[in-house]
Amino acid sequence: MTASIRLQREPFDAAHEAARLLRGRTDVGAVVTFTGICRGEEADAPLVAMTLEHYPGMAEAEVGRHVEAAQRRWPLLGVTVIHRFGRLAPGDQIVLVVTAAAHRQDAFAAAEYLMDYLKTRAPFWKRVETAREAVWVEAKQSDDALAERWMPSPGGRAAAE
Amino acid sequence: MKLRYFAWVRERIGKAEENVDLPSGIVTVADLVDWLSGRGEEYAHAFDNPKVIRAAIDRSHVKPDTPITGAQEIAFFPPMTGG
């Protein structure tokens, strides 16, 4: 299975990345392409810029671990994850997740799983600048809750998938 | 041992990384946080709420009770906000 993981400053081309996963294949029936984008406001104040700090080495390793986990969990035929770092402006792309599978349920579920984990376990930190101040974005409990729902429950419900 | 700091942990301590010689008796990540807190005001400020500090040993997430034996690099950072 083709897995491509990249961290980079530059923007990416989502359509190009999805096409790369499909090239020469006829077994893919579903491709899900998710793009995360820098919004123009944070806590009701207009955003001037967002800077993404990351832990080089660990970020690639951590994303790789989650891609491997997604491959074990769903019958994926291809995965691409690209995460940018550095200074971004409103409207700029932040992250790309592309998943390819024979069927849509697997492609959708894997893309959502990867995004939920990227939001909580990948070592990136956002600093946002508004007109008044520059502050570190705080991790959201709602993101932790979304990531937790992918974990096996004590009764082993997830094992029944 | 190499220590690395990120985000506001890095800002409060005033450096992104350093090499330290640890005294004996520091067994776990939590022990290391305690020892670092005593090194100066900037460290105490960074670690004043240990519950929000996350750690990684050799680029993998670890819990506070994880032993640090054999670690090459230990990093401390706030909860992540990627994606």
The interface pTM score, or ipTM, of the predicted complex is: 0.94
Question: Measured between CB atoms, does A83 come within 8 Å of chain B?
Answer: yes
**Rounded average pLDDT over B25-39:** 96
Q: What does the pLDDT look like over A39-56, one tens digit per residue?
A: 998 878 899 999 999 999
Whether residue B59 and residue A94 make contact (CB cut-off 8 A), yes or no, is no
Using the predicted structure, report yes or no on whether residue A85 has a pLDDT greater than 50: yes
Q: What does the pLDDT look like over B41-68, one tens digit per residue?
A: 999 999 999 999 999 999 999 999 999 9
Instruction: Give, in words, the CATH class of A2-149.
Output: alpha beta
Helices (H), chain B: 7-13, 29-37, 41-46
Residues 6+ apart with CB under 8 A from A107: A30, A31, A32, A76, A99, A100, A101
**Rounded average pLDDT over A103-123:** 96
Question: What whole-number distance in Å separates Cα of residue A58 and Cα of residue B14?
Answer: 21
What is the structure's pLDDT at B61? 96
What CATH number does domain B2-77 carry, 3.40.50.2300, 3.40.50.300, 3.30.70.520, 3.10.20.30?
Answer: 3.10.20.30
Whether residue B82 and residue A52 make contact (CB cut-off 8 A), yes or no, is yes
Confidence of residue B80 (pLDDT cuts 50, 70, 90): very high
Helices (H), chain A: 14-22, 58-73, 104-121, 141-148
Least confident of A148-152, B19-23, B43-47: A148-152
What is the structure's pLDDT at A157? 44
What is the structure's pLDDT at A154? 61
User: Contact, A79 vs A114, CB < 8 A?
Assistant: yes
Residue ranges covered by each domain of chain B: 2-77
Question: Measured between CB atoms, does A69 come within 8 Å of chain B?
Answer: no
